[in-house]
Chain A
C-alpha cells in the first residue's frame, strides 16, 4: 500500500523520527503550528518573514480525553468505528500545546497529565490502495525504535 500524508505538508514522513513542520518568526522567535505564512501572531511584532522548523517531537501531556462516539465528516471512520484517545501535549521549547490522536491500542487509562509523549505517524484512514497517515502521540518509550506506527503500539513500556 502507498503511504501519503492525510494533510499535505504539515509533517515530515520520516518513519523513525517524524516531526511536525511549524514556522518560526525570524524577528520575535514565535512558533506556529500549522505554519504561519503571512503575519506574525504576536501583536507587538510586524514581521512577515518566517522559517520552516521541525517542532520538538517529545512533550508532556497537558490534558487528554477520548472519542467514544464516531465524529462526523470530514472524519473518515473505519467500519466499525473504533474509539481512540486524544492528547494535548505541551512542547517545552516552543511553549505551545499541540493536539493529536493517541496511537491505536493506548487508552485513557494508560495516560496521565504530565506524562512524556512522542510524535509518531499512524494511519488515519485508508483510501483505495493508499494509507493516509497523520501525526499521533505515543507514550515515550512505548514503541521499539524504528516502529512505523503500523503495528499496535501495545501501550505499556
Chain B
C-alpha cells in the first residue's frame, strides 16, 4: 500500500482500575479525539472499533457499540479483533477505507475493562483450545515473558538489574503523563525487592491489566488540507504481518513451537518492523523515538533488537549507555510504556500511536522528546498477532 493519512485528532481516557463499563471510557476518548481534530461527530464517515473477547466484553461488537453510544448518525462501521493488535488492525481498516477513496474521515476507538489478576480463558474441558491447555498446565502469560527473559540472560548476559533499570527508566518517563495509571518513580531496590512472579521476573517487572481507552480521528491528506490543517502528523506505515513457518520461539498461547524439519525457523517479533520500514521508505536510523510493548520490562530489550535500534545481543549495552532515556539518542517508551499504563488490550496499540502524535506535535510536556520527527510503535500478543505503526511529521 502506498500513501499516507493525516492524524487530525487524538484522545484518551486515563488508564486505571475504574470498574466501569468500557463503553464509557471509549466515548470519553472518542469525544476528546473529535474535539482535538476540530471536526463534529456528524462529520465522521467511518467508525472503526477495536475489540476483545474477554472480561467485560463478550457479546459486544465494538464499532457499533461506540457508534450507538455517540448517537447513531449513519456512519459505516467496522470491528477488529486481533488480540493485543486489535487497535492497529482497527486503524489499518480505517486507513484502507480512506486510501481507497471510500471515505474522507474516520474515527478509531479502543477501550477495555479488565479484571484483577491474570487474564484467563473460558472454563470447562476444552483441549482443542491451546489457550485452555496452557492454563490447565498452569502456564500464564508471565511464563512466556519469563522464558524470553531467562533466554536473554543465558545468551546475552542480561541481568535482573537490567530488567529493573527499564522499570526505573519508564517510571521516570511516565511520572508526568496524565493518562498513566502508575506515576510513582521506582528505584532499582524496590523492583528487585518485589515478589517473584515467574523467575527471573518480579511483580514490578510485569505489566498490570488496566481499564483505559484511546481514540484517533484520521483523514485523507486532502481533507486535512480543506480543514486548514498545515503539516499534519501522518501515518506512514502499518505492519500487521503474521508469523512465518517455522516459528522458532514459543509464542502465547501455544504449548509447542512449529517443527522446523522442513523449513528454516523465523522469529515472529523481528518480522514486524521490517515490513513497516519498507512501507514508509525509512530505516531505524531515521527514528526519533519508539513506543514498544513492555509486557515485561525484559521484553523492551528484545524490541531494541527487533526494531533494529541495535544488533542482536547488544540491547543490554544500548540500555546501559542511556541511549533509550528521554534526552538519549533514541528514547524508548517516553509515555512510560506498559510499566506505567498496564495493558488495556484493545486500547493499547492505539495509545502507543496517540503518544507518538503528541510527541511529534511537541505537546508531550515534561516527557517531550526534543525535535521528534519520526516514531514507531511495536506491539504483540496472542495467536500470532502483532503490529508496528510508523508516524511521521
Contact A96 B255 (CB under 8 A): no
Distance in angstroms from B301 CB to nearest chain A CB is 15
Contact A8 B154 (CB under 8 A): no
Residues of chain A contacted by B142 (CB below 8 angstroms):
65
Q: Given that A73-B120, A73-B135, A96-B259 are known contacts, is A67 also in contact with B140, CB under 8 Å in the complex?
A: yes
Q: Given that A33-B256, A98-B255 are known contacts, is A66 also in contact with B199, CB under 8 Å in the complex?
A: yes
Distance in angstroms between the alpha carbons of A66 and B142 in the assembled complex: 9
Distance in angstroms from B270 CB to nearest chain A CB is 17
User: Of B120, B197, B265, which is within 8 A of A68 by CB?
Assistant: B197
* 25 pairs from A and B in contact (CB 8 Å cutoff): A30-B259, A30-B263, A34-B133, A34-B256, A42-B262, A44-B262, A62-B147, A63-B150, A65-B149, A66-B146, A67-B140, A68-B196, A69-B197, A71-B138, A71-B139, A74-B136, A75-B137, A86-B139, A88-B147, A94-B259, A95-B259, A95-B261, A96-B256, A100-B137, A114-B154
Q: Given that A88-B250, A113-B151 are known contacts, is A67 also in contact with B123, CB under 8 Å in the complex?
A: no
Interface positions of B from 138 to 195, Cβ below 8 Å from A: 138-140, 142-143, 146-151, 154-155, 195
Contact B258 A41 (CB under 8 A): yes
Most buried by A among B143, B147, B200, B262: B262
A103 interface hit (Cβ, 8 Å): no
Q: How many contacting A-B pairs (Cβ < 8 A)?
A: 145
Contact B259 A31 (CB under 8 A): yes
A140 interface hit (Cβ, 8 Å): no
Q: Which residues of A contact B (CB under 8 A)?
A: 6-8, 10, 25, 28-34, 41-45, 62-69, 71-76, 84, 86, 88, 94-101, 108, 112-114, 124, 134
Distance in angstroms from B258 CB to nearest chain A CB is 6
Residues of chain B contacted by A124 (CB below 8 angstroms):
136-137
User: Of B121, B147, B258, which is within 8 A of A63 by CB?
Assistant: B147
Contact B258 A99 (CB under 8 A): no
Q: Render B246-284 as a binary contact track against A, CB cut-off 8 A, 1 for contact.
A: 100110000111111111010000000000000000000
- Interface majority SS (helix, strand, loop, mixed), chain B: loop
User: Of B133, B154, B263, which is within 8 A of A113 by CB?
Assistant: B154
Residues of chain A contacted by B117 (CB below 8 angstroms):
72
Contact B262 A74 (CB under 8 A): no
B99 interface hit (Cβ, 8 Å): no
Most buried by B among A8, A63, A76: A63
Contact A63 B154 (CB under 8 A): yes
Contact A96 B257 (CB under 8 A): yes
User: Of A84, A98, A113, which is within 8 A of B150 by CB?
Assistant: A113
Distance in angstroms from A23 CB to nearest chain B CB is 10
User: For residue B255, which residue of chain A has the nearest CB?
Assistant: A99
B60 interface hit (Cβ, 8 Å): no
Distance in angstroms between the alpha carbons of A113 and B154 in the assembled complex: 7
Residues of chain A contacted by B147 (CB below 8 angstroms):
62-65, 86, 88
